[in-house]
């Protein structure tokens, strides 16, 4: 019996992970999981509860009671926290500013990694995007991609997504996020062993998708 086709796509914010991952999953008729949305949903729930996000123990204790549900349709990905549809709210400035604090708590990561592995195990094929998929969540993934882009390109894309005209401020914010995620003690953002680096700076979305689909087809 062949191993499930797990495609791990890691990389920093603004590199194009979400659009690329959904496109690859749709093209290959695979399921899709956005692990970053899970951490954002957890952050949203904790903010709503008024949990002190400067207190890792309080975060870990409160997180145990939060129910998260992730949809895996690449054309209609969904995320719910405690029964509420939070696909929109998790992109708020408050959540964006706080998600790294929540994601750095070992208890939260252990719980969500368990959920992510369960979801992966429920599918014959799945594209999973995040910051620690190939290194921690699915180190045996058949295909590992580390998606990168020039900092200015990443900032321009993220600013456009957020409707901002200040790409310089966005670039500074992304640099701070990169520093925090790359230096945290648990599952830091890093290029996984065996991952293929794909630089999306000068590629269109379709060209990035084509590149990764080709790599997956070669690995079948």
pTM: 0.90
C-alpha neighbours within 13 Å on the C-beta side of residue 155? 17
Instruction: Say if residues 127 and 30 touch (Cβ distance below 8 Å).
Output: yes
Q: What confidence tens digit (pLDDT) does each residue in 95-119 have?
A: 999 999 999 999 999 999 999 999 9
32 close to 20: Cβ distance less than 8 angstroms: no
Full set of structural domains in the chain with CATH: 5-214 (3.40.50.300)
Any idea how long the chain is?
220
Q: In this predicted model, what pLDDT tens digit does every residue of 130-174 receive, in sequence order?
A: 999 999 999 999 999 999 988 888 887 777 776 666 667 777 877
């Amino acid at each position: 019996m062949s191993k499930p086709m797990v495609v791990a796509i890691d990389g920093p914010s603004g590199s194009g992970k979400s659009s690329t991952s959904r496109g690859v999953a749709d093209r290959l008729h695979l399921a899709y999981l956005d692990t970053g949305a899970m951490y954002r949903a957890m952050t949203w729930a904790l903010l709503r509860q008024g949990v002190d996000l400067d207190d890792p123990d309080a975060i870990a204790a409160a997180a145990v009671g939060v129910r998260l549900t992730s949809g895996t349709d690449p054309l209609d990905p969904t995320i719910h926290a405690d029964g509420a549809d939070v696909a929109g709210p998790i992109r708020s400035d408050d959540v964006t500013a706080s998600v790294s604090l929540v994601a750095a708590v070992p208890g939260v990561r252990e719980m969500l990694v368990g959920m992510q592995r369960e979801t992966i195990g429920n599918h014959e094929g799945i594209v999973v995007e995040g910051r620690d998929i190939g290194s921690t969540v699915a180190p045996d993934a058949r295909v590992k991609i580390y998606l990168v882009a020039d900092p200015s390109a990443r900032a321009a894309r993220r600013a456009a997504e957020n409707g901002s005209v200040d790409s310089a401020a966005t670039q500074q914010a992304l640099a701070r996020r990169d520093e925090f995620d790359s230096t945290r003690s648990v599952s830091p953002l890093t290029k996984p062993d065996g991952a293929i680096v794909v630089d999306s700076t000068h590629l269109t979305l379709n060209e990035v998708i084509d590149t990764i689909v080709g790599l997956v087809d070669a690995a079948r």
